A and B are shown apart, each in its own frame.
Chain A
Amino acid sequence: MNGFKTYFTNFKKTFKVKNFIMYFIVAGAMILFGGLGAAGALKRSFLVLLEQMGYGIIVALALSLVVGFLGELSLGHAAFMSIGAFLGCYFQNSVFPALSSSSPFVALLLAMLIGGAAAGAFGFIIGLPALRLKGDYLAIVTLAFGEIVKVLFQNIPVFGGALGIQNKYRYNVNSLYIIIFAVLLLTLIIVQNLIRSKHGRAVTAIRDNEIAAKSTGVNVSYYKIAVFVISAVIAGVGGVLFAGTQNTFKPAKFDYNYSINILVMVVLGGMGNINGTIISAAIITFINVRLGTVLTGNLAVLKDIFYALILIALVIYNNAPALKKFRSKYNLKNGAAAVWNFLVRAFTKKKAEPDPAREVEFGADWSRIPTKVEMDELLSTDFIPETDKPDRGEGGEGK
Chain B
Amino acid sequence: MEFLTTFINGLSLGGVYALIALGYTMVYGIAKMLNFAHGDIIMVGGYTIMVFFNMTGLPLAAAGVAVVFCIVTGVLIEKLAYKPLRGASPLAVLITAIGVSYLLESLAQIIFGSDHKMVILNHWGTLEIGAFSVSYNTIVTLSSAIAIMIALTLFVNRTKVGKAMLAVSEDRDAASLMGISVNNIITITFAIGSALAAVAGAFYILKTPDVSTTMGSMPGIKAFTAAVIGGIGSIPGAMLGGLLLGIIETACLAVPALAPFAIAIEFGLLIIILLVKPTGILGKKKREKV
A114–B287 CA distance with the chains assembled, in angstroms: 42
Smallest CB separation, A316 vs chain B (Å): 5
A119–B290 CA distance with the chains assembled, in angstroms: 35
A-binding segment of B58-66, B120-128, B204-212, B221-229: B221-229
Given contacts A147-B264, A312-B96, A373 and B89 within 8 Å (CB-CB): yes
> B110 in the interface, Cβ–Cβ < 8 Å?
yes
Smallest CB separation, B80 vs chain A (Å): 8
Contact status B169-A383, CB under 8 Å: yes
> B267 in the interface, Cβ–Cβ < 8 Å?
yes
Query: Which residues of B are found within 8 Å of A183, using beta-carbon distances?
Result: none
Interface centre among B90, B105, B169, B232 (most CB of A within 10 A): B232
Query: Which residues of A are found within 8 Å of B90, using beta-carbon distances?
Result: 375-376, 379-380
Contact status A386-B236, CB under 8 Å: yes
Q: Report A258-307 residues with CB < 8 Å from chain B CB.
A: 260, 263-264, 267-268, 271, 301-305, 307
Contact status B100-A308, CB under 8 Å: yes
Q: Report B83-112 residues with CB < 8 Å from chain A CB.
A: 84-92, 94-96, 98-103, 105-107, 109-110
Interface size class of A (residues with CB under 8 A): 35 or more
> B286 in the interface, Cβ–Cβ < 8 Å?
yes
A314–B286 CA distance with the chains assembled, in angstroms: 35
Smallest CB separation, A240 vs chain B (Å): 24
A-binding segment of B8-16, B29-37, B49-57, B130-138: B29-37
Contact status B106-A211, CB under 8 Å: no
> A384 in the interface, Cβ–Cβ < 8 Å?
yes
> B4 in the interface, Cβ–Cβ < 8 Å?
no
Contact status A267-B92, CB under 8 Å: yes
Given contacts A140-B225, A375-B89, A381-B283, A316 and B98 within 8 Å (CB-CB): no
A-binding segment of B140-148, B190-198, B269-277: B269-277
Query: Which residues of B are found within 8 Å of A320, using beta-carbon distances?
Result: 84-85, 88
Residue in contact with B157 in the complex, picked from A73, A304, A386, CB distance below 8 Å: A386
A394–B287 CA distance with the chains assembled, in angstroms: 7
> B280 in the interface, Cβ–Cβ < 8 Å?
yes
Interface centre among B91, B289, B290 (most CB of A within 10 A): B91
Given contacts A304-B103, A376-B32, A381-B286, A155 and B261 within 8 Å (CB-CB): yes
> A48 in the interface, Cβ–Cβ < 8 Å?
no
> B115 in the interface, Cβ–Cβ < 8 Å?
no
A391–B169 CA distance with the chains assembled, in angstroms: 16
Smallest CB separation, B64 vs chain A (Å): 29
Contact status A148-B264, CB under 8 Å: yes
> A3 in the interface, Cβ–Cβ < 8 Å?
no
> A158 in the interface, Cβ–Cβ < 8 Å?
no
A151–B258 CA distance with the chains assembled, in angstroms: 12
Contact status A375-B286, CB under 8 Å: no
A152–B262 CA distance with the chains assembled, in angstroms: 11
Query: Which residues of B are found within 8 Å of A101, using beta-carbon distances?
Result: none
Contact status A308-B274, CB under 8 Å: no
Interface centre among A139, A152, A211, A315 (most CB of B within 10 A): A315
A133–B106 CA distance with the chains assembled, in angstroms: 36
Contact string against B for A residues 374-396, beta-carbon threshold 8 Å, 1 for contact and 0 otherwise: 01100111111111000101101
A302–B107 CA distance with the chains assembled, in angstroms: 9
Query: Which residues of B are found within 8 Å of A140, using beta-carbon distances?
Result: 224-225, 228-229, 270, 274
A233–B20 CA distance with the chains assembled, in angstroms: 36
Contact status B260-A260, CB under 8 Å: no
5 A-B contacts, Cβ less than 8 Å apart?
A: A147-B267, A211-B288, A305-B106, A382-B286, A384-B284
- Having A315-B99, A383-B232, one finds 6 other A-B pairs with CB under 8 Å, namely A144-B267, A155-B260, A301-B109, A307-B99, A311-B102, A393-B286
Residues of B within 8 A of A (CB): 29-30, 32, 34, 36, 81, 84-92, 94-96, 98-103, 105-107, 109-110, 153, 156-157, 165-166, 169-170, 221, 224-225, 228-229, 231-236, 260-261, 263-264, 267-268, 270-271, 274-275, 278-280, 283-284, 286-290
Q: Which 3 A-B pairs have the closest CB atoms?
A: A383-B169, A144-B267, A393-B287
